[in-house]
Homo-oligomer: A and B are copies of this chain.
Amino acid sequence: MIFTVKAEVSLKRGHFDPEGDVAAKALRDLGFGVASVRVGKTYTIKVEAADASEAEAAAKEMCRRLLSNPTKDDFKVEVLGFEGRSG
């Protein structure tokens, strides 16, 4: 089956986020009352797996091996749904 999994990669707490700081400043310049912004990335992945837990495990492994760098990133994985048989 093809599962849709969302992996969210974000900076570890306490890590400096220049991109977030720039976004915060730009938002403040536009008149918003913003205290801070942290930027992260999401990967919405269609992955082949036997069941949801296998899909989740695979996505975690993808985060470990490619999508995140443990020095700076945390990641979180969530199975969103599935699509039935794959060819």
Contacts and interface: CB of A to CB of B under 8 A. Distances in A.
A79 interface: no
Interface residues of A, number: 34
Contact of A42 (B33, B40, B86): B40
- Count of identical protomers in the assembly: 2
A53 to B, nearest CB: 15
Contact of A66 (B26, B36, B66): B26
Given A34-B47, A48-B33, A66-B30, A42 B8 contact: yes
A41 B44 contact: no
9 contacts: A8-B42, A23-B66, A32-B62, A33-B47, A33-B49, A34-B45, A35-B86, A39-B43, A40-B44
